[in-house]
Structure 1
Amino acid sequence: MSEVMDYKSRVSDPASRKFETFSYLPAMTKDQIKKQVEFLVKKGWNPAIEHTEPTHLQDSYWYMWKLPMFGETDVARILSEAEACHKANPDNHVRLIGYNNFNQSQGASMVIFRGKTV
């Protein structure tokens, strides 16, 4: 059995903090982000975009970028809003959420743009 790698993520070290599954991987490319948006749309989930400062990463409150895009299926429009949020808040983490209407929960949540860590 192989050793499980310990990711030394510590609250005291902002640069080491991990905040969701994809944060253990290299940052997603534009094409990979597009594929995630396509997945949300294919599942019928409502996309929403949120952002927060890296120093508040561990808080449960993130700022909502506009309102959730209920019923939006245009992948380009969703990507455009995510990029607009990132451009308006370049130092913040930006995450994409897919709300599942049937289960009344988040079907997916991932940081697609990483903010600057201190």
Structure 2
Amino acid sequence: MELQDYRTEYTYETFSFLPELSMDEVYDQIVYIINQGWAPAIEHEKPENTMTHYWNMWKMPLFGTRDPDEVLREIEACRAAYPNDVIRVIGYDNYMQTLGHCFVVYRPRGR
């Protein structure tokens, strides 16, 4: 596995220095979020605003979901609606009221 140069213009969240995650790897991370009891949520933002703006939430967090495929369907719906945005999945820990996990699942080409 080849690591990316950390000095790139756009690096985001967990796994930023690794090559883009495959759908199987994204699925495994979603399963991890669900197994921790965290609520998966999807956020998106224009690439030029990711470091200076709060990200927009795609719908409400999926509180109580136990189905990783439901999260994948929502990722694809967000991607279809916002094809030029960076999309990330967060695992919201409602007990600690913080992000337990956060990673990018889609970057527009060239970003």
2:85 to 88, 92, 95: 92
For the pair shown, which has the larger CA radius of gyration, 1 or 2?
1
Structure 2 counterpart of 1:26: 19
CA distance in 1, matches of 2:98, 2:40: 12
1:81 aligns with 2:80: no
**RMSD over aligned Cα, in angstroms?**
1.7
Paired positions, count = 108
Unaligned runs of at least 5 residues, structure 2: none
TM-score of the superposition, structure 2-length normalised? 0.89
Q: Deviations over 1:60-101 (max 9, x none)?
A: 411110011111111111110011101111111000010112
Question: Moved runs in structure 1, 4+ residues, more than 4 A?
Answer: none
d(CA) in 2 for partners of 1:6, 1:97: 24
Query: Separation in 1 of the partners of 2:95 and 2:62?
Result: 16
Percent identity (aligned): 40
